[in-house]
Protein backbone atom coordinates (compact mmCIF):
# COMPACT_ATOMS: atom_id res chain seq x y z
CA UNK A 1 0.00 0.00 0.00
CA UNK A 2 3.03 2.20 0.16
CA UNK A 3 3.91 1.72 -3.46
CA UNK A 4 0.70 3.10 -4.83
CA UNK A 5 1.63 6.71 -4.90
CA UNK A 6 5.38 6.76 -4.71
CA UNK A 7 5.59 4.55 -7.75
CA UNK A 8 7.27 5.51 -10.98
CA UNK A 9 5.65 8.86 -11.58
CA UNK A 10 6.88 12.07 -10.02
CA UNK A 11 6.04 12.63 -6.36
CA UNK A 12 3.18 15.01 -5.57
CA UNK A 13 2.33 17.13 -2.62
CA UNK A 14 0.38 14.16 -1.23
CA UNK A 15 3.50 12.03 -1.15
CA UNK A 16 5.34 14.76 0.68
CA UNK A 17 2.52 15.23 3.16
CA UNK A 18 2.27 11.55 3.92
CA UNK A 19 5.99 11.18 4.38
CA UNK A 20 6.17 14.21 6.63
CA UNK A 21 3.07 13.20 8.54
CA UNK A 22 1.26 16.45 7.92
CA UNK A 23 -1.53 17.71 5.69
CA UNK A 24 -1.02 18.91 2.16
CA UNK A 25 -2.03 22.35 3.33
CA UNK A 26 1.02 22.49 5.54
CA UNK A 27 3.24 21.34 2.73
CA UNK A 28 1.79 24.00 0.52
CA UNK A 29 2.46 26.60 3.16
CA UNK A 30 6.10 25.83 3.50
CA UNK A 31 6.36 25.63 -0.26
CA UNK A 32 5.05 29.16 -0.48
CA UNK A 33 7.10 30.39 2.38
CA UNK A 34 4.18 31.40 4.54
CA UNK A 35 5.14 32.02 8.11
CA UNK A 36 2.51 30.07 9.93
CA UNK A 37 4.10 26.62 9.91
CA UNK A 38 6.11 26.01 13.05
CA UNK A 39 9.78 25.32 12.62
CA UNK A 40 9.22 21.69 13.54
CA UNK A 41 6.58 21.26 10.89
CA UNK A 42 8.65 23.11 8.39
CA UNK A 43 11.65 20.92 8.97
CA UNK A 44 9.69 17.70 8.59
CA UNK A 45 8.31 18.97 5.32
CA UNK A 46 11.63 20.16 4.01
CA UNK A 47 13.16 16.83 4.79
CA UNK A 48 10.44 14.94 2.96
CA UNK A 49 10.76 17.25 -0.01
CA UNK A 50 14.47 16.68 -0.25
CA UNK A 51 14.20 12.93 0.15
CA UNK A 52 11.59 12.61 -2.51
CA UNK A 53 13.15 15.11 -4.88
CA UNK A 54 9.76 16.76 -4.99
CA UNK A 55 9.19 19.54 -7.52
CA UNK A 56 5.85 21.32 -7.29
CA UNK A 57 3.92 21.17 -10.52
CA UNK A 58 3.70 24.54 -12.18
CA UNK A 59 0.51 23.76 -14.02
CA UNK A 60 -1.37 22.82 -10.88
CA UNK A 61 0.01 25.81 -9.15
CA UNK A 62 -1.02 28.10 -11.96
CA UNK A 63 -4.48 26.63 -12.19
CA UNK A 64 -5.05 27.06 -8.53
CA UNK A 65 -3.52 30.45 -8.02
CA UNK A 66 -4.63 31.85 -11.36
CA UNK A 67 -1.14 33.01 -12.16
CA UNK A 68 1.34 31.16 -14.30
CA UNK A 69 4.30 33.41 -13.73
CA UNK A 70 5.08 33.16 -17.41
CA UNK A 71 5.07 35.82 -20.09
CA UNK A 72 5.09 34.95 -23.75
CA UNK A 73 7.16 36.67 -26.39
CA UNK A 74 6.46 36.29 -30.07
CA UNK A 75 8.76 37.55 -32.77
CA UNK A 76 9.42 37.06 -36.43
CA UNK A 77 12.06 34.78 -37.74
CA UNK A 78 12.72 36.77 -40.87
CA UNK A 79 14.53 35.47 -43.83
CA UNK A 80 15.95 38.52 -45.54
CA UNK A 81 16.82 38.95 -49.16
CA UNK A 82 19.30 36.30 -50.12
CA UNK A 83 22.44 37.87 -51.46
CA UNK A 84 24.10 34.59 -52.19
CA UNK A 85 25.74 33.70 -48.96
CA UNK A 86 27.73 36.46 -47.35
CA UNK A 87 24.94 37.45 -45.05
CA UNK A 88 23.08 34.18 -45.08
CA UNK A 89 23.60 33.61 -41.37
CA UNK A 90 22.67 37.10 -40.46
CA UNK A 91 19.00 36.55 -40.04
CA UNK A 92 19.64 33.59 -37.84
CA UNK A 93 21.32 35.74 -35.30
CA UNK A 94 18.55 38.28 -34.95
CA UNK A 95 20.76 40.62 -33.02
CA UNK A 96 18.12 43.13 -32.22
CA UNK A 97 15.35 40.78 -31.25
CA UNK A 98 17.52 38.63 -29.05
CA UNK A 99 18.72 41.61 -27.15
CA UNK A 100 15.22 42.86 -26.52
CA UNK A 101 14.26 39.44 -25.29
CA UNK A 102 17.19 39.45 -22.94
CA UNK A 103 15.91 42.70 -21.50
CA UNK A 104 12.46 41.24 -21.04
CA UNK A 105 13.81 38.11 -19.48
CA UNK A 106 15.99 39.87 -16.96
CA UNK A 107 13.17 42.14 -15.89
CA UNK A 108 10.82 39.18 -15.71
CA UNK A 109 13.24 37.18 -13.61
CA UNK A 110 13.24 39.90 -11.01
CA UNK A 111 9.55 39.29 -10.47
CA UNK A 112 9.63 35.55 -10.63
CA UNK A 113 8.37 35.32 -14.17
CA UNK A 114 9.89 33.26 -16.93
CA UNK A 115 9.86 33.81 -20.66
CA UNK A 116 8.09 31.61 -23.13
CA UNK A 117 9.58 32.41 -26.50
CA UNK A 118 8.10 31.69 -29.84
CA UNK A 119 9.54 32.76 -33.16
CA UNK A 120 7.25 32.59 -36.13
CA UNK A 121 7.67 32.85 -39.84
CA UNK A 122 5.89 35.72 -41.47
CA UNK A 123 4.36 33.36 -43.97
CA UNK A 124 3.13 30.89 -41.39
CA UNK A 125 -0.45 29.99 -42.14
CA UNK A 126 -1.19 28.67 -38.69
CA UNK A 127 0.04 31.82 -37.02
CA UNK A 128 -3.18 32.86 -35.30
CA UNK A 129 -3.45 29.39 -33.80
CA UNK A 130 0.16 29.34 -32.76
CA UNK A 131 -0.33 32.57 -30.91
CA UNK A 132 -3.48 31.38 -29.19
CA UNK A 133 -1.69 28.30 -27.98
CA UNK A 134 1.06 30.49 -26.61
CA UNK A 135 -1.45 32.82 -25.05
CA UNK A 136 -2.97 29.91 -23.16
CA UNK A 137 0.38 29.12 -21.66
CA UNK A 138 1.09 32.53 -20.19
CA UNK A 139 -0.30 35.42 -18.20
CA UNK A 140 0.41 37.99 -20.86
CA UNK A 141 2.02 38.51 -24.22
CA UNK A 142 4.71 40.76 -25.64
CA UNK A 143 4.55 40.98 -29.39
CA UNK A 144 7.49 42.21 -31.41
CA UNK A 145 7.18 44.36 -34.46
CA UNK A 146 4.19 43.43 -36.58
CA UNK A 147 3.59 39.80 -35.79
CA UNK A 148 -0.14 40.25 -35.83
CA UNK A 149 -2.66 42.36 -37.68
CA UNK A 150 -4.50 45.03 -35.74
CA UNK A 151 -7.62 42.91 -35.89
CA UNK A 152 -5.81 39.84 -34.60
CA UNK A 153 -4.35 41.98 -31.89
CA UNK A 154 -7.66 43.30 -30.67
CA UNK A 155 -9.10 39.81 -30.61
CA UNK A 156 -6.42 38.34 -28.46
CA UNK A 157 -6.28 41.43 -26.28
CA UNK A 158 -9.89 40.78 -25.28
CA UNK A 159 -8.74 38.03 -23.00
CA UNK A 160 -4.99 38.40 -22.59
CA UNK A 161 -2.90 41.38 -21.55
CA UNK A 162 -0.82 42.38 -24.55
CA UNK A 163 2.07 44.76 -25.05
CA UNK A 164 3.43 45.45 -28.50
CA UNK A 165 6.90 46.60 -29.39
CA UNK A 166 7.34 49.32 -31.97
CA UNK A 167 3.69 49.01 -32.88
CA UNK A 168 0.69 51.18 -32.27
CA UNK A 169 -1.19 51.45 -29.00
CA UNK A 170 -4.76 50.20 -29.17
CA UNK A 171 -7.79 49.93 -26.93
CA UNK A 172 -6.45 47.22 -24.70
CA UNK A 173 -2.96 47.10 -26.11
CA UNK A 174 -0.04 48.98 -24.64
CA UNK A 175 2.91 49.83 -26.83
CA UNK A 176 6.56 50.46 -26.09
CA UNK A 177 8.80 52.09 -28.62
CA UNK A 178 11.67 54.46 -28.80
CA UNK A 179 11.64 57.96 -30.09
CA UNK A 180 12.43 58.17 -33.79
CA UNK A 181 11.21 61.46 -35.20
CA UNK A 182 13.39 63.89 -33.29
CA UNK A 183 16.56 61.91 -33.70
CA UNK A 184 16.00 61.42 -37.42
CA UNK A 185 15.35 65.11 -37.86
CA UNK A 186 18.52 65.85 -35.97
CA UNK A 187 20.37 63.39 -38.15
CA UNK A 188 19.07 65.06 -41.30
CA UNK A 189 20.03 68.44 -39.94
CA UNK A 190 23.50 67.19 -39.10
CA UNK A 191 24.08 65.79 -42.57
CA UNK A 192 22.73 68.82 -44.37
CA UNK A 193 23.87 71.68 -42.18
CA UNK A 194 27.01 70.40 -40.49
CA UNK A 195 28.36 68.41 -43.40
CA UNK A 196 26.76 70.32 -46.24
CA UNK A 197 25.38 67.31 -48.09
CA UNK A 198 22.68 68.34 -50.58
CA UNK A 199 21.61 65.03 -52.06
CA UNK A 200 20.40 62.36 -49.67
CA UNK A 201 18.44 59.13 -49.55
CA UNK A 202 16.70 57.01 -46.92
CA UNK A 203 16.77 53.25 -47.24
CA UNK A 204 13.53 52.05 -45.73
CA UNK A 205 12.80 49.08 -43.48
CA UNK A 206 9.62 47.03 -43.75
CA UNK A 207 6.93 49.22 -45.22
CA UNK A 208 4.46 48.13 -42.53
CA UNK A 209 6.71 49.09 -39.66
CA UNK A 210 5.53 52.25 -37.89
CA UNK A 211 9.09 53.00 -36.80
CA UNK A 212 10.25 52.85 -40.38
CA UNK A 213 7.50 55.16 -41.56
CA UNK A 214 8.29 57.75 -38.93
CA UNK A 215 12.01 57.56 -39.52
CA UNK A 216 11.66 57.98 -43.26
CA UNK A 217 9.20 60.82 -43.05
CA UNK A 218 11.02 62.78 -40.36
CA UNK A 219 14.32 62.47 -42.13
CA UNK A 220 12.93 63.42 -45.51
CA UNK A 221 10.87 66.37 -44.36
CA UNK A 222 13.66 67.84 -42.31
CA UNK A 223 16.22 67.47 -45.08
CA UNK A 224 13.90 68.97 -47.65
CA UNK A 225 12.97 71.86 -45.40
CA UNK A 226 16.65 72.65 -45.21
CA UNK A 227 16.82 72.74 -48.97
CA UNK A 228 18.36 69.37 -49.64
CA UNK A 229 17.15 66.85 -52.17
CA UNK A 230 15.97 63.44 -50.95
CA UNK A 231 15.82 60.58 -53.41
CA UNK A 232 12.78 58.36 -53.01
CA UNK A 233 10.94 55.56 -54.71
CA UNK A 234 10.86 51.78 -54.72
CA UNK A 235 14.57 51.59 -55.45
CA UNK A 236 15.13 52.57 -51.83
CA UNK A 237 12.89 49.98 -50.22
CA UNK A 238 14.92 47.76 -47.91
CA UNK A 239 13.86 45.17 -45.35
CA UNK A 240 15.93 45.90 -42.24
CA UNK A 241 18.52 43.33 -43.33
CA UNK A 242 22.14 43.73 -44.38
CA UNK A 243 21.47 41.64 -47.44
CA UNK A 244 18.72 44.07 -48.39
CA UNK A 245 21.16 46.95 -48.13
CA UNK A 246 23.69 45.16 -50.27
CA UNK A 247 21.13 44.46 -52.93
CA UNK A 248 19.91 48.03 -53.13
CA UNK A 249 23.36 49.48 -53.58
CA UNK A 250 24.38 46.85 -56.09
CA UNK A 251 21.20 47.47 -58.04
CA UNK A 252 21.73 51.21 -58.11
CA UNK A 253 25.32 50.88 -59.21
CA UNK A 254 24.60 48.33 -61.90
CA UNK A 255 21.95 50.68 -63.26
CA UNK A 256 24.57 53.37 -63.49
CA UNK A 257 22.62 55.61 -61.14
CA UNK A 258 24.58 58.41 -59.56
CA UNK A 259 24.67 57.82 -55.84
CA UNK A 260 23.51 60.39 -53.31
CA UNK A 261 26.09 62.07 -51.12
CA UNK A 262 24.63 60.51 -47.98
CA UNK A 263 22.45 57.50 -47.24
CA UNK A 264 20.50 57.21 -44.02
CA UNK A 265 19.46 53.64 -43.32
CA UNK A 266 16.45 52.41 -41.39
CA UNK A 267 18.68 50.40 -39.08
CA UNK A 268 22.28 49.38 -38.45
CA UNK A 269 22.08 46.06 -40.21
CA UNK A 270 21.01 47.77 -43.41
CA UNK A 271 23.86 50.25 -43.03
CA UNK A 272 26.27 47.36 -42.62
CA UNK A 273 25.18 45.93 -45.95
CA UNK A 274 25.29 49.30 -47.63
CA UNK A 275 28.83 50.01 -46.47
CA UNK A 276 29.82 46.55 -47.55
CA UNK A 277 28.46 46.99 -51.05
CA UNK A 278 29.93 50.46 -51.42
CA UNK A 279 33.37 49.21 -50.38
CA UNK A 280 32.99 46.34 -52.78
CA UNK A 281 32.66 48.81 -55.64
CA UNK A 282 35.51 50.98 -54.50
CA UNK A 283 33.50 53.79 -52.97
CA UNK A 284 34.91 55.43 -49.90
CA UNK A 285 32.70 55.89 -46.87
CA UNK A 286 32.25 58.66 -45.88
CA UNK A 287 34.49 60.27 -48.52
CA UNK A 288 32.29 59.43 -51.48
CA UNK A 289 29.10 58.50 -49.71
CA UNK A 290 28.22 59.03 -46.07
CA UNK A 291 26.15 56.32 -44.41
CA UNK A 292 24.19 56.25 -41.16
CA UNK A 293 22.24 53.62 -39.27
CA UNK A 294 19.75 53.30 -36.43
CA UNK A 295 19.91 51.16 -33.25
CA UNK A 296 23.57 51.34 -32.30
CA UNK A 297 24.08 47.61 -32.08
CA UNK A 298 27.40 46.54 -30.57
CA UNK A 299 29.07 46.08 -33.93
CA UNK A 300 28.39 49.70 -34.93
CA UNK A 301 31.41 50.99 -33.12
CA UNK A 302 33.68 48.18 -34.26
CA UNK A 303 33.01 48.88 -37.91
CA UNK A 304 35.46 50.88 -39.90
CA UNK A 305 34.45 53.54 -40.51
CA UNK A 306 32.69 53.57 -37.16
CA UNK A 307 29.01 53.88 -37.77
CA UNK A 308 27.17 57.09 -37.07
CA UNK A 309 23.78 56.04 -35.84
CA UNK A 310 20.95 56.62 -33.38
CA UNK A 311 21.18 54.82 -30.10
CA UNK A 312 18.15 53.01 -28.83
CA UNK A 313 18.13 51.60 -25.28
CA UNK A 314 17.45 48.11 -26.54
CA UNK A 315 17.40 46.06 -23.38
CA UNK A 316 15.56 48.86 -21.67
CA UNK A 317 12.78 48.57 -24.21
CA UNK A 318 12.38 44.95 -23.28
CA UNK A 319 12.50 45.67 -19.59
CA UNK A 320 9.89 48.40 -19.82
CA UNK A 321 7.64 46.24 -21.92
CA UNK A 322 7.72 43.62 -19.23
CA UNK A 323 6.98 46.10 -16.50
CA UNK A 324 3.97 47.44 -18.32
CA UNK A 325 2.73 43.96 -19.01
CA UNK A 326 3.27 42.99 -15.42
CA UNK A 327 1.18 45.88 -14.21
CA UNK A 328 -1.56 44.90 -16.62
CA UNK A 329 -1.44 41.33 -15.39
CA UNK A 330 -1.61 42.17 -11.73
CA UNK A 331 -3.90 45.19 -11.95
CA UNK A 332 -6.46 43.37 -14.06
CA UNK A 333 -9.57 43.32 -11.90
CA UNK A 334 -8.67 45.95 -9.36
CA UNK A 335 -7.53 49.17 -11.00
CA UNK A 336 -10.13 50.83 -13.19
CA UNK A 337 -7.54 52.73 -15.20
CA UNK A 338 -6.46 51.15 -18.45
CA UNK A 339 -2.84 50.49 -19.32
CA UNK A 340 -0.62 53.39 -20.24
CA UNK A 341 -1.31 53.71 -23.92
CA UNK A 342 2.24 54.19 -24.92
CA UNK A 343 5.73 54.38 -23.53
CA UNK A 344 8.32 56.17 -25.59
CA UNK A 345 11.97 55.82 -24.68
CA UNK A 346 14.52 58.46 -25.56
CA UNK A 347 17.15 57.99 -28.22
CA UNK A 348 20.19 60.00 -29.13
CA UNK A 349 22.28 60.40 -32.20
CA UNK A 350 25.79 59.02 -31.94
CA UNK A 351 28.18 60.79 -34.29
CA UNK A 352 31.02 58.61 -35.35
CA UNK A 353 32.93 58.42 -38.60
CA UNK A 354 30.57 57.17 -41.27
CA UNK A 355 28.76 60.49 -41.54
CA UNK A 356 32.01 62.33 -42.13
CA UNK A 357 32.81 63.32 -38.57
CA UNK A 358 36.33 62.77 -37.25
CA UNK A 359 37.15 59.47 -35.60
CA UNK A 360 36.76 59.18 -31.88
CA UNK A 361 40.32 59.19 -30.70
CA UNK A 362 39.78 56.91 -27.73
CA UNK A 363 38.27 53.77 -29.15
CA UNK A 364 40.48 51.50 -31.20
CA UNK A 365 38.72 49.68 -33.98
CA UNK A 366 38.52 46.06 -34.85
CA UNK A 367 37.18 45.77 -38.34
CA UNK A 368 36.96 47.77 -41.48
CA UNK A 369 35.53 47.08 -44.89
CA UNK A 370 37.89 46.25 -47.68
CA UNK A 371 38.99 49.46 -49.28
Binding-site string for DNA from residue 40 to residue 69, where x marks contact by CB under 7 A and - marks none: xx------------x-xx--xx-xxxx---
Residues 16-45 that bind DNA (CB under 7 A): 22-29, 31-32, 35-38, 40-41
Residues 229-258 that bind its own copies (CB under 8 A): none
Residues 3-42 that bind its own copies (CB under 8 A): 8-11
Q: Least distance in Å: CB of 334 to its own copies? A: 11
Binding partner selected for residue 333 from DNA, its own copies, none, CB under the kind-specific 5 to 8 Å limit: its own copies
Nearest-angstrom CA–CA distance, 235 and 202: 10
Nearer to DNA by Cβ, of 31 and 181: the residue is 31
Could you tell me which stretch among 108-116, 248-256, 262-270, 287-295 binds its own copies (CB under 8 A)? 108-116
Nearer to DNA by Cβ, of 67 and 345: the residue is 67
Binding partner selected for residue 32 from DNA, its own copies, none, CB under the kind-specific 5 to 8 Å limit: DNA
The residue within the footprint of its own copies, chosen from 4, 35, 40, 53 (CB under 8 A), is 53
Residues 285-324 that bind its own copies (CB under 8 A): 298, 302-304, 315
The residue within the footprint of its own copies, chosen from 102, 199, 250, 348 (CB under 8 A), is 102
- State yes or no: residue 7 binds DNA (CB under 7 A): no
Q: Which burial class, exposed, middle or buried, applies to 300 when counting CB atoms under 10 A from its CB (0-12, 13-18, 19+)?
A: buried
Nearer to its own copies by Cβ, of 207 and 359: the residue is 359
Residues 69-88 that bind its own copies (CB under 8 A): 69-70, 72, 77, 85-86
Nearer to its own copies by Cβ, of 131 and 228: the residue is 131
Nearer to DNA by Cβ, of 20 and 174: the residue is 20
Q: Least distance in Å: CB of 132 to its own copies? A: 5
Q: Least distance in Å: CB of 20 to DNA? A: 9
Nearest-angstrom CA–CA distance, 85 and 118: 26
Nearest-angstrom CA–CA distance, 332 and 90: 40
Binding partner selected for residue 37 from its own copies, DNA, none, CB under the kind-specific 5 to 8 Å limit: DNA
Q: Which burial class, exposed, middle or buried, applies to 137 when counting CB atoms under 10 A from its CB (0-12, 13-18, 19+)?
A: middle
What are all long-range contacts of 130-135, with beta carbons under 8 Å and residues at least 24 apart? 131/74, 131/156, 132/156, 134/72, 134/74, 135/72, 135/159, 135/160
Binding partner selected for residue 40 from DNA, its own copies, none, CB under the kind-specific 5 to 8 Å limit: DNA
Binding-site string for its own copies from residue 181 to residue 220, where x marks contact by CB under 8 A and - marks none: ----------------------------------------
Residue partners of 239: CB distance under 8 A and separation at least 6: 78, 80, 81, 205, 206
Q: Least distance in Å: CB of 37 to DNA? A: 4
Applying CB under 7 A, which residues contact DNA? 9-10, 12-14, 22-29, 31-32, 35-38, 40-41, 54, 56-57, 60-61, 63-66
Amino acid sequence: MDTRSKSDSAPTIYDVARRAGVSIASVSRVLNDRDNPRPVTRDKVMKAIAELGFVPDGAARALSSRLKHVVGVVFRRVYGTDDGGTFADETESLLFGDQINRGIEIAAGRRGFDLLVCSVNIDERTLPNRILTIAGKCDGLILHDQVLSTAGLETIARTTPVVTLAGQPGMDVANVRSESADSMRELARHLVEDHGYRRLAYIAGHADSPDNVVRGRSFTEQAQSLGAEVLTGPAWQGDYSAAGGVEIVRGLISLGASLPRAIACANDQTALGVIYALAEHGFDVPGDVAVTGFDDLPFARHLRPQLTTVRQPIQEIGARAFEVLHSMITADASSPAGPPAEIVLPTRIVRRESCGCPAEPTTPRLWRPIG
